[in-house]
């Protein structure tokens, strides 16, 4: 019998929760409810694949047992928005402290173009002369619709989530044995056949309802489209997800009870920082 483990390192959208100085119902709840405190979105799969090292990666990994940090073997970046990749520099320091080998970083070709503008000095690639100190990361390219395997039969298939238009944003179908997890923290739409009947769907929770999208104070033009939770529920039902957890949680300014009113039954819930989900095949 196989097993897959998903650890939520962070579950906020672009900015952490609670917001500084905010006394809305959501932020007030987070003052006394640890599950309301959220850092930038990231997960660890089977203790070995780190997805989306964001600006909070240092604190997120420092909270783990050292053996779990040392066990990380690969990094995957869904897309180069700041909350999904700006932790690469901090992660390079962790690698140094724990004496880790060079870590392969997986991203799409057009993501790499943007990632290397900031982090070229951290990544070895074909044009690297290969002299001097080895760089912390090596470049690996992933392509929409093409599965790649990261050890022990763990397979990742990137698919387009139609979140962005100037570069492609990947969701990930993560499979091992008969288990299928879909991770799509930034999601607008998909018709990818590989999503059907996942054991666990982890979906975009930037907005609760469609009317919030129109007057969202933090949404800048061109920062990407997000399917609201009320529509995400319908998407989850359409692909017959066995269980759905919303992550990438935005600043709704409503209570947890009001948020849960959008969830139709016990197969839906909201993820929280530090949550560990173990799936058995
Ligand atoms: Zn607030
Ligand atoms: Zn994004
Ligand atoms: Zn995002």
Is 260 inside any structural domain? Answer: yes
For 12, half-sphere exposure in the C-beta direction (CA atoms, 13 angstrom radius) is 23
Give me the pLDDT at residue 212, please.
Answer: 76
C-alpha 185 to ligand 3 mean position (Å): 6
Is 217 inside any structural domain? Answer: yes
Per-residue pLDDT tens over the stretch 82-95: 999 999 999 998 87
- Return phi, psi of residue 35, to 5°: -70, -10
Answer for the pair 79, 50: CB distance below 8 angstroms, yes or no: no
Q: What CATH number is associated with residue 66?
A: 3.60.15.10
Q: What is the largest CA-CA distance in the chain?
A: 58
C-alpha 210 to ligand 3 mean position (Å): 18
C-alpha 186 to ligand 2 mean position (Å): 5
C-alpha 120 to ligand 1 mean position (Å): 36
Average pLDDT, the chain: 92
Our count of domains for the chain comes to 1
- Distance of alpha carbon 151 from its chain centroid, rounded? 20
Per-residue pLDDT of the chain (281 residues; tens, 9 = 90+): 579 999 999 999 999 999 999 999 999 999 999 999 999 999 999 999 999 999 999 999 999 998 888 899 999 999 999 999 999 999 998 877 777 778 999 999 999 999 999 999 999 865 555 556 678 999 999 999 999 999 879 999 999 999 999 999 999 999 999 999 999 999 999 989 899 999 999 999 999 988 777 666 555 445 789 999 999 999 999 999 999 999 999 999 999 999 999 999 999 999 999 999 999 98
Is 246 inside any structural domain? Answer: yes
C-alpha 96 to ligand 2 mean position (Å): 29
Please choose, from the candidates 228, 268, 275, 266, the residue with its C-alpha nearest in 3D space to the C-alpha of residue 244. Answer: 268
Residue range of the domain that includes 73 = 3-126+133-271
Angle at 101 between CA 74 and CA 118, to 5 degrees: 65
* Nearest listed ligand to the Cα of residue 18: 1
Is 115 inside any structural domain? Answer: yes
Is 195 inside any structural domain? Answer: yes
Is 259 inside any structural domain? Answer: yes
């Amino acid at each position: 019998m196989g097993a897959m483990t998903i650890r939520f390192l962070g579950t906020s959208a672009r900015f952490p929760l609670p917001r500084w100085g905010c006394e809305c119902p959501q932020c007030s709840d987070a003052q006394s409810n640890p599950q309301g405190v959220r850092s930038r979105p990231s997960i660890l799969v089977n203790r070995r694949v780190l997805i989306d090292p964001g600006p909070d990666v240092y604190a997120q990994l420092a909270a783990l047992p050292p053996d779990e940090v040392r066990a990380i073997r690969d990094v995957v970046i869904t897309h180069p928005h700041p909350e999904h990749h700006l932790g690469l520099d901090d992660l390079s320091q962790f690698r140094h402290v724990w004496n880790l080998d060079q870590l392969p970083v997986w991203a799409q070709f057009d993501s790499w173009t943007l990632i290397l503008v900031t982090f070229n000095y951290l990544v070895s690639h074909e044009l690297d002369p290969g002299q001097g100190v080895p760089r912390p990361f090596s470049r690996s390219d992933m392509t929409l619709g093409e599965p790649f395997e990261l050890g022990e039969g763990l397979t990742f298939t990137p698919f387009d989530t139609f979140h962005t238009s100037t570069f492609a944003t990947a969701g990930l179908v993560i499979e091992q044995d008969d288990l299928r997890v879909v991770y799509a923290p930034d999601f607008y739409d998909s018709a990818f056949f590989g999503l059907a009947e996942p054991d666990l769907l982890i979906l975009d929770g930037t907005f609760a309802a469609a009317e919030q999208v129109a007057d969202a104070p933090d949404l800048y033009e061109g920062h990407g489209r997000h399917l609201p939770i009320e529509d995400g529920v319908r998407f989850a039902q359409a692909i017959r997800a066995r269980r759905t957890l919303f992550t990438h949680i935005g600043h709704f300014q409503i209570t947890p009870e009001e948020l849960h009113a959008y969830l139709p039954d016990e197969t839906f819930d909201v993820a929280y920082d530090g949550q560990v989900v173990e799936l058995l095949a």
